[in-house]
Amino acid sequence: MKVGEVAQLLILTKVTGRGSLEMEIKGGYTSDLLSNVMGQAKPGMIWVTMQGHHNVVAVASLLGLAAVIITGGTKIEADTITKADENELTVFSTNMSSYEVTGKLYALGIINRQ
């Protein structure tokens, strides 16, 4: 499933302008602990978190993640959006909780096969 398809099905708000909606999602990962994501997430995954600061972009870009979904209506810092655009990373926001988003992604067939 592609990033844009997930955004449409989950009714996500795209907060960045330069990331690709055509990237194929290879799995999903949910965590708010950056070091945990760095050690466990794999390239092409979609990351679900409630963190809205610029370090999210650094981690997602380093790992080559497909996109980030920032949950819970968290305020996303302006420099986060700027850095995401510079790195062509797609970032979405939603008022849904991380739990709800993760469940919906799983129901869409986005799972992790390690």
Write down all domains in the chain, each with its CATH number in brackets: 3-107 (3.40.1390.20)
The pTM for the full model equals 0.96
Beta strand residue intervals within 15-94, DSSP E = 27-30, 45-49, 67-70, 90-93
User: 50: which 2 tokens?
Assistant: 């409630």
Read off the pLDDT of residues 48-105 as tens digits, 9 standing for 90 and up. Answer: 999 999 999 999 999 999 999 999 999 999 999 999 999 999 999 999 999 999 999 9
User: Looking at residue 17, what is its pLDDT?
Assistant: 83
Q: How far is CA 60 from CA 30, 57, 102, in A?
A: 12, 5, 17
pLDDT for 114 beyond 70: no
